[in-house]
Amino acid sequence: MESGVCKLDPSHTATREIAIDTVNGHDWGKWEGTVTCTEAGEETGTCTHDNSHTTTRETAIDPTAHVWNDSYTTITPAAETTDGTEAITCKHNASHTTDARIVYATGTAGLAYELINSNTAYRVRKGTVETGTVHIPAYHRPNTNSEYLPVTEIGSASDAYSSDGAFSNTASITAVYIPASVTTIGSYAFQGCANLESVNFAEGSQLKTISDRAFQNTKLTSIEIPSTVTSVGQQAFSNWTSAQIINVRYAGQTEADSAWGANWRQLCSAIIKYWNGSSYQ
């Protein structure tokens, strides 16, 4: 039914019946379909007047129509010295990712880790590592479902005997790389490492403590103690010879001994060089 209104007098009206318009009389409501972030699809519209009336239309790819997986997938694997990445991937297309995050460098395989400080950090020891270059990681997690925690100690200051040291008497390691996260090198940590040629501290080192006899009987040519160190234990470099050099970021022996006590250089014959503001002398 439709109504007509007279142009001369709007109070005059008339009505007439009209046939059903099966082509143009629909009101298509919500469209539903299967379009994804990867494939075009088809949507179906249902008429709000009669839900038995439906129609379809093609739809383009929707770049936002992702269905995300529940767990992280490795995108770039971490290696001994380089970080990787992991992310949540789309079920439709694994190249579509979200929430990317760092997978930290693993460090040398075989190192042993111990939770410390109320489970907020790790202490590291040699584990099964016996030879070559040792890379200690800045962060560690035991599995992909665990959170990363910083590695802050190499052995412990409470290690009482040479056999307790983190790497003590590991005669075939030749170099050690220590990350900025490490704050403590424990007692006897590298005691007796007869072929250790270099100890390398990362830029921005947070090292605070070098414990008793940490580098006793090592064959390092030289070592540069980070300026952040506030404590060096007794005989830390004992049995070093005049062919070895210790670079200290204090202006002189008086300043170093005042900070660390004189026992840090006990039984040490190494050449100790101090910082003059621009170089070690």
The answer to whether residues 144 and 255 belong to one domain is yes
Note the pLDDT of residue 18: 56
Asked if the structure places residue 280 within a domain, the reply is no
Integer Cα distance of 61 and 260 in angstroms: 68
Let me know whether 79 and 186 are in one domain: no
- What's the per-residue H, E or C state across the chain? CEEEECCCCCCCEEEECCCCCCCCCCCEEEEEECCCCCCCEEEEEEECCCCCCEEEEEECCCCCCCCEEEEEEEEECCCCCCCEEEEEEECCCCCCEEEEEEECCCCCCCCEEEEECCCCEEEEECCCCCEEEEECCCEECCCCCCCCEEEEEECCCCCCCHHHCCCCCCCEEEEEEECCCCCEECCCCCCCCCCCCEEEECCCCCCCEECCCCCCCCCCCEEECCCCCCEECCCCCCCCCCCCEEEECCCCHHHHHHHHCHHHHCCCCCEEEEECCCCEC
Please tell me whether residues 264 and 137 are part of one structural domain.
yes
Indicate whether 79 and 173 sit together in one domain. Answer: no
Angstrom distance (rounded) from CA 227 to CA 173: 26
Whether residue 179 sits in one domain with residue 88: no
The answer to whether residue 10 is domain-embedded is no
The boundaries of the domain holding residue 237 are 107-274
Residues of the chain where predicted confidence (pLDDT) is lower than 70: 1, 17-24
Residue 14, domain member (yes or no): no
Residue 31 counted as domain residue: no
Of 76, 101, 126, the residue at which a domain comes to its end is 101
- pLDDT at residue 24, rounded to an integer: 66
Quote the CA–CA distance of 60 and 35 in Å, as a whole number: 7
Phi-psi region of 2 (alpha: psi -120 to 50; beta: other; left: phi over 0): beta
Same structural domain for residues 93 and 171? no
Q: Are 125 and 107 in contact (CB under 8 A)?
A: no
Q: What is the pLDDT of residues 111-132, one digit of tens each?
A: 999 999 999 999 999 999 999 9
Angle at 49 between CA 44 and CA 54, to 5 degrees: 20
83 with 120, same domain: the answer is no
CATH number at residue 167: 3.80.10.10
Q: What are phi and psi of 162, to 5 degrees?
A: -60, -30
What's the first-to-final CA gap in the chain, in angstroms?
106
Q: Specify if 212 maps to a domain.
A: yes
- Same domain membership, residue 268 and residue 191: yes
Question: To 10 degrees, the CA torsion angle through 201, 205, 211, 216?
Answer: 10
Same domain, 178 and 267: yes
Residues 93 and 172 in one domain: no
Cβ-contact 199, 223 below 8 angstroms: yes
- Count how many domains the chain has: 2
Residue whose tokens read 């059903």: 20
**Domain identity same for 94 and 230:** no
Cα(82)–Cα(45) distance, integer angstroms:
52
* 6 belongs to a structural domain: no
Among 78, 101, 124, where does a domain finish?
A: 101
Instruction: Report pLDDT for 11.
Output: 84
Pair 169, 191: CB distance under 8 Å = yes
Whether residue 34 lies inside any domain: the answer is: no
Which of 43, 77, 101 delimits the end of a domain? Answer: 101
Q: Radius of gyration (Cα) for the chain, nearest Å?
A: 36
Stated pTM of the model: 0.81
Which pLDDT score is estimated for 22?
59
Instruction: Indicate whether 53 belongs to any domain.
Output: no
- Considering the domain architecture, whether residues 95 and 156 belong to the same structural domain is answered as no
